[in-house]
């Protein structure tokens, strides 16, 4: 892989979402990795500079290390399509769909893929009557989350009926419509995917063991309290089934480039359930895609090169025919 063939590369990091801090960590790691491989890579924070500068300054492709809104939700991807600059990760539609956890679940359910039962709470449905109906429909424990945030931001595990109102109040700080989801009791795992279409393939499953099951924002990024097992230690048949549904989920959304699906394995019958698809996963020192790639024999630096090589446009410009 010739690093010079990538041309001038912008590593997009920071941004305006609630995950800005993590994006800066991801982007810094990617930037250093690409430079170590001889890529002409430069940092670019869209919250501080106009995107049009990518064109005027002659960037040839973008590595998206942004997480959350305005970086992972299709808006940035649409701008890059208009600028004609290839970018890493999924295109406009897939990014938008995957960022919306409710829409993702609807699509997966339509395709017969397993995902926990759920309901939504609109801004006018935060009263006690609607909250009691949520518990009646989903039982306890349950999860309350903003459907357009990541990194466990605004998420609460509700174990008692009296906790639901405060969980809804927390989630509503991020967006008015909330997702309430059946809590699957069991083990949490994650499985990355690299590639597009028929050539897409999964990387090894990572099993996550968090203290008291609290795989929250702090434990994800800023402590060493979580244990990660890769190889997962799961039976080969279980890992194969997880890989199968993750690949199907990735293709169902139309993802390309790379991504990572989060999955719960129900303890009672070992059935896996898809939680969400990340189309711009973390690339920090605690992140799971690099960990999985390393188990498959790929270094962090080579992983960054592989992802960059898959940069593309949904609608590449066509050569104009001469009359």
**pLDDT reported for residue 249:** 98
Domain spans in the chain, listed from the N-terminal domain onward: 3-89, 97-114+185-308, 118-182
CATH number for the region 3-89 comes to 3.40.50.20
pLDDT > 70: percent of the chain: 94
Among candidate residues 29, 262, 287, 292, the one labeled active-site is 262
260 catalytic? Reply is yes
Please give the radius of gyration of the chain, using alpha carbons only, rounded to the nearest integer: 20
Residue 19 annotated to the active site: yes
Return the pLDDT at 221: 47
**What residue has token string 């990760």?**
89
Q: 68, 257, 260, 292: which is the annotated catalytic residue?
A: 260
Q: Which of 292, 278, 245 is nearest to 89 (CA)?
A: 278
The catalytically annotated residue of 71, 154, 259, 282 is 282
Catalytic, 294? Answer no
Q: Which of the residues 15, 17, 19, 29 is marked catalytic?
A: 19
| β-sheet bridge partners, residue 260 | 192, 278
Helices (H), 141-264: 164-172, 217-221, 236-253
pLDDT digits (tens, 9 = 90+) for 250-290: 999 999 999 999 999 999 999 999 999 999 999 998 899 99
45 is catalytic: no
User: Is 207 labeled as catalytic in the residue annotation?
Assistant: no
Q: How much is the pLDDT for 153?
A: 85
What mean pLDDT, rounded, does the chain reach?
Answer: 93
> Exactly one of 17, 90, 196, 278 is catalytic; which is it?
278
8 Å CB contact between 230 and 287: no
- Catalytic, 321? Answer no
- In this prediction, residue 7 carries a pLDDT of 98
Which candidate in 150, 276, 280, 292 is catalytic? 276
**Secondary structure (3-state) at 21:** helix
The rounded percent of the chain whose pLDDT value lies above 90 is: 85
Residue 287 is a catalytic residue: no
Q: Is 175 a catalytic residue?
A: no
Regarding the domain with residue range 118-182, which homologous superfamily does it belong to in the CATH classification? ATP-grasp fold, A domain (3.30.1490.20)
Catalytic residue, candidates 17, 90, 151, 252 = 151
Residue 138 φ/ψ, nearest 5 degrees: -110, -20
Answer whether 3-89 and 118-182 agree in fold.
Answer: no
Q: Out of 2.170.130.30, 3.40.50.800, 3.30.470.20, 3.10.20.90, which CATH number does the structure's domain 97-114+185-308 have?
A: 3.30.470.20
Residue tagged active-site, from 87, 221, 250, 300: 221
In degrees, to the nearest 5, what angle opens at C-alpha 230 toward C-alphas 226 and 234?
A: 100
- Residues of the chain short of pLDDT 70, as ranges, are 151, 211-224, 319-323
């Amino acid at each position: 892989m010739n690093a010079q063939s990538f041309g001038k590369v912008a590593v997009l990091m920071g941004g305006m979402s609630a995950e800005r801090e993590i994006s800066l960590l991801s982007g810094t790691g990617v930037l250093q990795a690409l430079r170590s491989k001889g890529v002409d890579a430069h940092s670019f924070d869209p919250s501080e500079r106009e995107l049009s500068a990518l064109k005027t300054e002659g960037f040839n492709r973008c590595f998206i290390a942004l997480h959350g809104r305005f970086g992972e939700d299709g808006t940035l991807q649409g701008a890059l399509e208009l600028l004609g600059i290839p970018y890493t990760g999924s295109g406009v539609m897939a990014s938008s769909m995957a960022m919306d956890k409710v829409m993702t679940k609807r699509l997966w359910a339509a395709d017969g893929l397993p995902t926990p039962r759920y309901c939504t709470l609109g801004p006018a449905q935060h009263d006690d009557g609607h909250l009691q109906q949520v518990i009646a429909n989903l039982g306890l424990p349950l999860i309350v989350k903003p459907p357009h945030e990541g990194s466990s931001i605004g998420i609460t595990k509700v174990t008692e009926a009296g906790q639901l109102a405060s969980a809804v109040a927390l989630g509503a700080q991020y967006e008015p419509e909330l997702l309430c989801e059946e809590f699957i009791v069991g083990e949490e795992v994650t499985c990355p995917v690299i590639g597009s279409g028929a050539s897409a393939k999964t990387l090894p499953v990572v099993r996550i063991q968090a203290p008291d099951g609290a795989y929250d924002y702090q434990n994800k990024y800023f402590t060493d309290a979580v244990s990660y097992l890769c190889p997962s230690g799961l039976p080969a048949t279980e890992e194969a089934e997880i890989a199968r549904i993750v690949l199907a989920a990735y293709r169902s959304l139309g993802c390309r480039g790379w991504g990572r699906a989060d999955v719960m394995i129900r303890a009672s019958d070992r059935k896996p359930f898809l939680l969400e698809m990340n189309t711009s996963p973390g690339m920090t020192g605690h992140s799971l895609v690099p960990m999985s790639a390393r188990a498959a024999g790929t270094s962090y630096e080579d992983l960054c090169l592989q992802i960059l090589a898959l940069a593309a446009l949904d609608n590449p410009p066509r050569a104009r025919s001469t009359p």
